[in-house]
Amino acid sequence: MFDLEPERVTAWIKSNGYSKVAVQLPEGLKVRSSEISDTLRSAGAIPILIGRPCYGACDYYDGYGEFADALIHYGHSAIPSMGEDPNVLFVEARAEVGADALRNHLDGLPSKIGVLASVQYIGLIDAVTEILEESERTAFVSPGDSRIKYPGQVLGCNCSAAENIRDCVDAFLFLGEGDFHPLAAAFGTDIPLFVYNPVTGSMRSVENTRERILRKRFASITIASEAESFTVIVCSKKGQKRIAEAERISALLEKAGKKVYTVVLEEITPEALSHYRTDAFVNTACPRISMDESSRFVKPILTVTEAEIVAGIRKWEDYEFDSIRN
């Protein structure tokens, strides 16, 4: 169902004459590593599978040069602001589906709609725009900032493509699966958001999920407000490293009377944090860790914007999703 583009991969390897090629896959595509390795072998290259976890283009493996001449990173689009390496190829693994079943779900949609998608479904934006406009609705699609490759694309850490049109639309329609990407846009804009899943042909609102997550986040902020000490986490992955944000939030927490420490980590897990005995943590890396995985952690692990509430410079009612802008 996901297009791994074997012809483009083969042509890229052959035209550059690579003899060893490293392969990086997100967890969901690792089951296809044998098939991908066979494609590389047929193209004349020795495949080297990089087994470390991979969640986004933000953690593409720039140490591939120790093992190979080039890297193929599957499952994500490049992040333009991270710069280009000619020896790295991104294969986005676009879903091979259509959007016709959306016609069954138009009744609940308002007249002005912003269209958003995760990269796997970004190729459906034109078809969805056409379907919406056939129904006499107006569709809006905006480019994002320099972290975003395609108009309408949303990352879990960046919904600038939605923010840019929040004043023109009555609702957003997100094309994709799961909660994390659409929630980033729903929190980032405070506008109703519907998720159309092109694989199942189903439509849903994220409002209940949004409310449930907000309640959990407010509980974490309340507990962290009583904390005397914080560890601010900086991630060493190239596209999640926010040293200036870590310094800024550390200074704000210190000003609010908290003791603050800093730790640099590659993977942010409960085991990695168990060594640091502060009352709470601030995560400056991927916001998914705080929003989606907080139940795995024993102590509160706040996002930067949540820590601003604890530091007293942001009001509860101005709650915002944390965004990575560069």
List residues near ligand SF4 by CB under 6 A: 55-56, 58, 155-157, 239-240, 286, 288, 324
**181 to each of 126, 149, 210, 246, how far by Cα in Å?**
20, 15, 12, 24
Q: Least CB distance from residue 239 to ligand SF4, whole Å?
A: 6
Identity of the residue, 129 or 303, whose beta carbon is nearer to ligand SF4 in the bound complex? 303
Q: What is the DSSP letter of 155?
A: B
Q: Least CB distance from residue 80 to ligand SF4, whole Å?
A: 12
Q: Least CB distance from residue 174 to ligand SF4, whole Å?
A: 15
Q: Least CB distance from residue 240 to ligand SF4, whole Å?
A: 5
Identity of the residue, 2 or 20, whose beta carbon is nearer to ligand SF4 in the bound complex? 2
CB 290, CB 322: distance < 8 Å:
yes
Q: Least CB distance from residue 202 to ligand SF4, whole Å?
A: 24
CB 200, CB 114: distance < 8 Å:
no
Identity of the residue, 139 or 245, whose beta carbon is nearer to ligand SF4 in the bound complex? 245
CB 287, CB 297: distance < 8 Å:
no
Q: Least CB distance from residue 64 to ligand SF4, whole Å?
A: 18
Identity of the residue, 170 or 292, whose beta carbon is nearer to ligand SF4 in the bound complex? 292
Q: Least CB distance from residue 159 to ligand SF4, whole Å?
A: 10
Q: Least CB distance from residue 102 to ligand SF4, whole Å?
A: 25
Identity of the residue, 47 or 239, whose beta carbon is nearer to ligand SF4 in the bound complex? 239
Identity of the residue, 162 or 324, whose beta carbon is nearer to ligand SF4 in the bound complex? 324
Number of neighbours of residue 322 by Cβ within 10 angstroms: 25
Q: Residue 94: left if φ>0, alpha if ψ -120 to 50, beta else—which one? A: beta
Listed residue (276, 308, 196, 238) closest to 60, CA to CA: 238
Tokens of 18: 């690579």
- Give the relative orientation of helices 180-189 and 207-225 as an angle to the nearest 10 degrees: 80
Place of tokens 């962290």: 224
Query: DSSP 3-state assignment of 72?
Result: strand
Instruction: Round to whole Å and give the CA distance between 101 and 91.
Output: 27
Q: Which H or E run includes 161?
A: helix 160-163
Tokens of 64: 């591939």
Q: How far apart are the first and last CA of the chain?
A: 31
Identity of the residue, 131 or 183, whose beta carbon is nearer to ligand SF4 in the bound complex? 183
Task: Give the residue closest to ligand SF4 by C-beta.
Answer: 56
Identity of the residue, 2 or 55, whose beta carbon is nearer to ligand SF4 in the bound complex? 55
Read off φ and ψ for residue 205, nearest 5 degrees: -95, 150
